[in-house]
Structure 1
Amino acid sequence: MAEQEKFSKLKILKDIAEKLNEGTNLREVLQEVLAMLLRITEFKTGWIFLIDKSGKNELAAYQNLPSALTQDHLKPMCSNNCWCVSKFTRGTLHKASNIMECKRLEDAILSNSGDACGLTHHATVPLGAGNEQFGLLNVASPYKTHFNETELDLLESVAYQIGTAVKRIKLHELEQEAAVAAERNRLARDLHDSVNQLLFSVSLTARAGREMSKEPQVKDTFQYIQEMSQTALAEMKALIWQLRPKGLENGVVHALTSYGTLIGLKVYTEVQGLITLPSRVEEAVWRIGQEALNNCKKHSGQNQVFVRIHVSTPTILLEIWDEGRGCLLHGNEHLTSMGLVTMKERTESLNGIFRIESNTEKGTRIIVEIPIQEGKHGY
């Protein structure tokens, strides 16, 4: 009997390991593996939380949740107020454990918010790889109030496999980001060495033609060509900046100030609490700030803009505002501009908060808050 149980456990671990090694989309992998775990064991319900260093949790996967936990678009599952997450964030949860009662289920039952389907207790186990921990795996079954050592041992093995897969996928995402950055740098170099130099040559040739010509119409034509090539040259320089911001190696504030100067803005900066930012956060702040400066240049009617950066663990606050025309836009509603939508998406991809305040003749203010914990990559 013991040999049969051992074989069954090894078969489960083998099947799950194969599934974990297939994918690179974290949430899809977690959802599929959780479904497989429930299908090949006697557990009926499960869910996985990914938890950042501040203790904020996100429901990354779930299977067969009772209606008591799915009310209001899974609202009961979106709170940090539960015992397993509290134990995890306090650093007191190191192995698979029996949770005597589930606070989420208890609260749902007390509020009569739905059917708990006989669920009152669950087992919980941290997801980790080496010294890093990424979240929790929870499983439960109707009317089951205790999980034996064999079950907990199996869950611990599965959780280790999942934690290792999370680590692998995170490293894969970092490699992808590095590859994208390298490709942008290559395109920037190619544009500078080819198109940029060609436009500069066209401008010089047009200037020489205008100076050599005696016919007014011909001179006007060369003048027009020169002006157009200079405009295209300026646009090309701005594009190269977008691909590879010169000066970002000296910090995002320096890069934004330099970019503002490039497009004809006077940038006034205020900085508090500077630290070295994680690369993804620095990239996002740069791209959001760049788009905000472009909007100011195009729409405000002003040539000056104000930038405030306040770094205070665990967040960075970025504010960019002008005192120009403004518009009738409040909050995050009706973001019709593609630039505004992009800024909001960049912010929220890092679990940040994006706000815009604007009034006619009073200017526009962009406010962005982004978590800066290392190791937090969009979940």
Structure 2
Amino acid sequence: MVGEKRQSEIRILKEIAELLNEGTEIDALLKEVLQKLLHITGLETGWVFLIDDQGEFRLAAEEKLPPALSRDSFKPMCKGDCWCIDRYNDGRLKKASNIIECKRIEDAIAEQRNDTNGLTHHASVPLRAGDEKFGILNIGSPDKMHFEPEELALLESIAFQIGTALKRIKLTQLEQETALAGERNRLARDLHDSVNQLLFSLSLTARGGAEMARDPEVKETFSYMQDLAQEALSEMRALIWQLKPRGLENGIICAMQGYSQMLGIKLTSKVNGVISLPGKVEETLWRIGQEALANCKKHSGQSTAEVTLTVEDEKVMMVISDCGRGFHYSWNNEIPSLGLKSMKNRAEALNGTFMLDTGPDNGTKIEIMIPFKKGGK
């Protein structure tokens, strides 16, 4: 009997390992693994919380949650604290554990809702690979109030497999980002060495033609060609800056000063706190700053702008403002342009916030806040 049980556990681990080795899309992968785990163990309900470095969690996968937990698009699972997440965040949840009772189910019972389908308890297992933690696997069944040590050991093995797969996916994504950065750098060099030089030569040729021409119409045509070439050259230099910013290795403020000079904008900068940011945060601020300065150049009617960068309590705030034309906008309206939406999306992708303050003849101010963990990448 013991041998058969051991063989069954090995089969379970093998089937789940095969799933994890094939997947690359995290949420879909977790959903499939959860379904497989419940099917082959005979358990009924499961869910996975992914938790970031700031302790913020999200429901990444679920299977057969009772109405008490799945109502209103899983609203009870997406807000508030619970014991498993508290234990995870403060370091007490280090291995597979029986959770005495589920606080989210307790809340439903306290609200006198009888839609828990008999689920009262669950086991919680941290998802980890080495020293890295990724979240929690929770498993339960109706009227099951306790998990045996053998069951917890199996869940812990599966959770380790999941954590290892999540680390593999993260490393793959990092490699892809590194490759993308390398490709941007290569493209920037190619554009500089080819198209940029051709436009520069065209501008010189048109200038020479305008100086040599005697016919007024021919001279005007050459002058027009020179203006077009100069405009295209400016656009190309801005594109090269976006692909490979010069000066970012010396910090974001240095890069923004260089970019603003290239645009013909006088940028006043102020820094509060020690600026040492994770690379992902710095690049995001840089891309947002580029878009904001480009908008200032195109739309504000001014040639000056201000940027303030403040770092405190593991968060960074960047404020970019001008005293230009501004435009009609209210915070409860949809953001009016693709560029502004892009800034908002970039900030929110790192759990940050985006605020826009503007009005006709009242300038424009963009405020970005992004949290980060010291020593993060």
For normalisation by structure 2, the TM-score amounts to 0.96
Residue matched to 1:352: 352
1:333 maps to a residue whose letter is: N
Looking at structure 2, the residues matched to 329 and 39 of structure 1 have their Cα atoms a distance apart, in angstroms, of 53
Task: Give the aligned CA root-mean-square deviation in angstroms.
Answer: 1.6
Residue matched to 1:339: 339
Where 1:98 maps in the other structure, the secondary structure is: strand
User: How far is the alpha carbon of 1:68 from its aligned partner?
Assistant: 1.0
Looking at structure 1, the residues matched to 318 and 333 of structure 2 have their Cα atoms a distance apart, in angstroms, of 20
Could you report, residue by residue, the CA deviation over 1:248-289 in whole angstroms, capped at 9, with x for unpaired residues?
A: 111111111211121121111121223332221111111111
Match runs of 1:22-61 below 5 Å: 22-61=22-61
Where 2:317 maps in the other structure, the secondary structure is: strand
- Contact kept, 8 Å, 1:210 with 1:220, in 2: the verdict is yes
1:36 maps to a residue whose letter is: K
User: How far is the alpha carbon of 1:181 from its aligned partner?
Assistant: 0.4
- Contact kept, 8 Å, 1:71 with 1:113, in 2: the verdict is no
Residue matched to 1:97: 97
2:201 maps to a residue whose letter is: S
Where 1:91 maps in the other structure, the secondary structure is: coil
Could you report, residue by residue, the CA deviation over 1:59-91 in whole angstroms, capped at 9, with x for unpaired residues?
A: 111111111112332221123511111111111
Q: Relative to 1, partners in 2 of residues 1:24 and 1:65: Cα closer, same or farther, differing over 3 Å?
A: same
Q: Greater shift after overlay, 160-169 or 318-327?
A: 318-327
Gaps in structure 2 of 5+ consecutive residues: none
Residue matched to 1:131: 131
Residue matched to 1:239: 239
Query: In percent, how many aligned pairs have the same letter?
Result: 55
- Contact kept, 8 Å, 2:100 with 2:121, in 1: the verdict is yes
Looking at structure 2, the residues matched to 127 and 189 of structure 1 have their Cα atoms a distance apart, in angstroms, of 42
Residue 81 (str. 1) matches residue 90 (str. 2): no
Q: Greater shift after overlay, 304-313 or 100-109?
A: 304-313
2:247 maps to a residue whose letter is: G
- Contact kept, 8 Å, 1:306 with 1:320, in 2: the verdict is yes
Gaps in structure 1 of 5+ consecutive residues: none
Q: Greater shift after overlay, 67-76 or 101-110?
A: 67-76
Runs of 4+ in 1 over 3 A off after TM superposition: 374-377
Residue matched to 1:264: 264
Match runs of 1:37-186 below 5 Å: 37-112=37-112, 115-186=115-186
Residue matched to 1:215: 215
Residue matched to 1:291: 291
Residue matched to 2:317: 317
Could you report, residue by residue, the CA deviation over 1:317-373 in whole angstroms, capped at 9, with x for unpaired residues?
A: 111111222122122631231101111111122222222122222122112111222
- Contact kept, 8 Å, 1:49 with 1:135, in 2: the verdict is yes
Q: Relative to 1, partners in 2 of residues 1:200 and 1:332: Cα closer, same or farther, differing over 3 Å?
A: farther
User: How far is the alpha carbon of 1:27 from its aligned partner?
Assistant: 1.5
Could you report, residue by residue, the CA deviation over 1:221-260 in whole angstroms, capped at 9, with x for unpaired residues?
A: 1111111111110110001001111111111111112111
Where 2:283 maps in the other structure, the secondary structure is: helix
Where 1:329 maps in the other structure, the secondary structure is: coil
Where 1:206 maps in the other structure, the secondary structure is: helix
- Contact kept, 8 Å, 2:278 with 2:376, in 1: the verdict is no
